[in-house]
Structure formats: structure tokens, C-alpha cells
Amino acid sequence: MEGFYTAKEARAKLGVTEDKFQYMVRTDQVRKVILPGRKYGVYPQSEIDEMAAALTGFVHQYNEDKVKKHVFRTARPEDAQAMYELGQRIMERSGGYGIAPDKLIPFLSIPNSEIGHVLIREGQLEGYFTIVPLYHDTLMQRMREEIWTSQIKPEELAYFEPGKPIDCFIWEVMADPDKKHTAAYLIGKMLIFFHNLGKRGVDIEGMYATASSPEGINLCRRMGMNLMDLPTVRPNNMPFELKPKEQKNWLTKNYIQALKSYKLRQKRLLGVKD
């Protein structure tokens, strides 16, 4: 059926068992559609393909890690120079530039910082991503270009912890465009990072990014982000947003489920009944 997979086809595409697939359907990780006049469910091909691409890239890279000695960890201040050099090398292809070390170091120097995450192979940086937690007013100032990320002081940042809702600004996702598996691996790790934030009860209202290259714009669209209606929209500054509680997709489903589970646990601990 054009545009949809049967359950058997979707399972094969994802490479999961029938029990695992049914669990993914029950927990809303996979969206089931009942078409008019039909009894059995089908599954949107585009969504299954996106999830399969992320999972396949992650598993493939995980297996390579054992042989090639990959290390994935939170970024440290001493990583700033290598992050800049990799970002500069990638961004200059489209007329952009990397983030200078002196602008990265204040974010990476915050105690227990989770803003930067790096992928290292045999001592060499292969890719990284940076995600900055912000309160909404500050986030919108950044999206309107009233301030730049590097101008935000550490004490003005939000926290990756339960409590007041926050926004996440995806500052950079850097991987050599010629190394597709590295990019897929990073996206898989980002998915796990958001899932873990959900498990910890971090209440994310929105995920935001700006894109200035064809690769960046394509990545934002693949992540299900929508172009924002702002006066700053132009080819070298495309502002995107994703509301995880309103837009379920392969990136947000696990986060949403984990956050729900966290809130249910808190209610039980407090003796609150639905």
C-alpha cells in the first residue's frame, strides 16, 4: 500500500521481534493508523524509514566502536579547540564558521556540564553536538538574533533538572558530511540524551535550532522541526522549532514516554491518585 507498511513490513524494516514491535506500538513509539474501511492497522512509511535510519546508524556505529575504539562522552574545556577546528572545517564549505574556543569554554566549564557531547576515535574528534538549556524569554531573544548564544552568561542558563519548564537550543551538530554513519550515530546519541532527560523529569517545552547550510536545513526537517515565522528568516539563518509534547515523532516519542513515566512515579511517591 503506497505510503504505508504492513506490520510485518514495518517489523522487518526496524529489525525488531514481533513482541518488541507490539511494545513499541503500545508505548506510542510507532504510530498505528487504521484507514477507513480497513480492520488492520498500517504504519506510515516515512516515519518507519526515519526511525529505521536512526536505529540502523546507531547499531552499525555501536558495533564499529568495539573495533575502532570510539569514545562518546560529555565535552570538557580542553575539547574546545578540536571542536572549533572540526566545526570550522565543516562550516567553511557553506561559507560559515566554527565556534571559537573562547566562546565554547565558558559553557563546557560549568560544573557537571551536559551542554557538549563529543565522539572521539583513537584520540581524534570525529563529531560533536551542543545543546543549551534556556528559559523561553532568553531562547526567543536568541531566535530573533537580539543576542547570540555565546553572549549568554552561564548564570542565565536554565538547568537540565526537574522543575521549571525549559527550552533546548541545539547549538551545533557537527560531523563530516561524507561520513554518514557518524552523523547517524550522533543523532542516535542525541535521541538517547533526550530520553534520559525525560527519565530525569526534565520538562522540555520546545527544541530549537538555526540552520545556515543545506545540510543543517535538511537535518532540521528530518528531525521534524518547523520553520518559525520570524522577521529574521533568511537563507543563512533559518530558525526552526519542535514542540515535543505536541509533535510526536521518532525523535520525541521516547522522551515523551519517559517524562510521563517519571511524572507517574512522582505521583505514586506522593500518594496522588489519577
The per-residue pLDDT for range 214-240, each reduced to its tens digit, is 778 888 888 889 999 998 788 778 999
With contact defined as beta carbons under 8 Å apart, do 138 and 101 qualify?
no
CA separation for the pair 133, 193 (Å, rounded): 13
The beta strands (E) that lie in the chain are given as: 4-5, 43-44, 70-74, 116-121, 124-134, 166-175, 204-211, 226-227, 238-242
* 123 has a pLDDT exceeding 90: no
Q: What pLDDT is stored for residue 66 in this prediction?
A: 47
* 57 has a pLDDT exceeding 70: no
Count other C-beta atoms under 10 Å from residue 137's C-beta: 8
Instruction: pLDDT band for 92, please (50, 70, 90 cuts).
Output: confident
- Please return the burial class of 210, using the count of CB atoms within 10 Å of its CB with bins 0-12, 13-18 and 19+: buried
Q: What pLDDT is stored for residue 167 in this prediction?
A: 98
Q: What pLDDT is stored for residue 143 in this prediction?
A: 95
CA separation for the pair 94, 186 (Å, rounded): 21
Average pLDDT of 30-49?
83
Q: What pLDDT is stored for residue 162 in this prediction?
A: 93
Q: What pLDDT is stored for residue 93 in this prediction?
A: 78
Take residue 184 and report the three cell numbers written for it: 547517524
Mean residue pLDDT across the chain: 86
CA separation for the pair 162, 249 (Å, rounded): 23
Q: What pLDDT is stored for residue 274 in this prediction?
A: 58
Considering only 102-106, 146-150, 160-164, 174-178, which range has the smallest mean pLDDT? 174-178
CA separation for the pair 246, 224 (Å, rounded): 11
* 43 has a pLDDT exceeding 80: yes
Q: What pLDDT is stored for residue 145 in this prediction?
A: 92
Query: In Å, how far from its chain's centre is CA 27?
Result: 20
Q: What pLDDT is stored for residue 73 in this prediction?
A: 94
- Please return the burial class of 111, using the count of CB atoms within 10 Å of its CB with bins 0-12, 13-18 and 19+: exposed
Sign (positive or negative) of CA dihedral 225, 152, 138, 236:
negative
Q: What pLDDT is stored for residue 267 in this prediction?
A: 85
| Percentage with pLDDT > 90 across the chain | 46
Q: What pLDDT is stored for residue 67 in this prediction?
A: 42
- Please return the burial class of 140, using the count of CB atoms within 10 Å of its CB with bins 0-12, 13-18 and 19+: middle
With contact defined as beta carbons under 8 Å apart, do 250 and 54 qualify?
yes
Count other C-beta atoms under 10 Å from residue 113's C-beta: 17
Average pLDDT of 109-130?
93
Q: What pLDDT is stored for residue 63 in this prediction?
A: 52
pLDDT tens digits for range 160-175: 999 899 999 999 999 8
Q: What domains lie within the chain, and their CATH numbers? A: 1-68 (1.10.1660), 70-270 (3.40.630.30)
* 249 has a pLDDT exceeding 70: yes
Pairwise pLDDT comparison (21 vs 274), residue with the higher score = 21
* 16 has a pLDDT exceeding 60: yes
* 58 has a pLDDT exceeding 60: no
Bridge-based pairing of strands 116-121 and 70-74 is: antiparallel
CA separation for the pair 259, 214 (Å, rounded): 33
* 270 has a pLDDT exceeding 90: no
CA separation for the pair 253, 272 (Å, rounded): 25
Considering only 50-59, 177-186, 214-223, which range has the smallest mean pLDDT? 50-59
Beta bridge partners of 5: 43
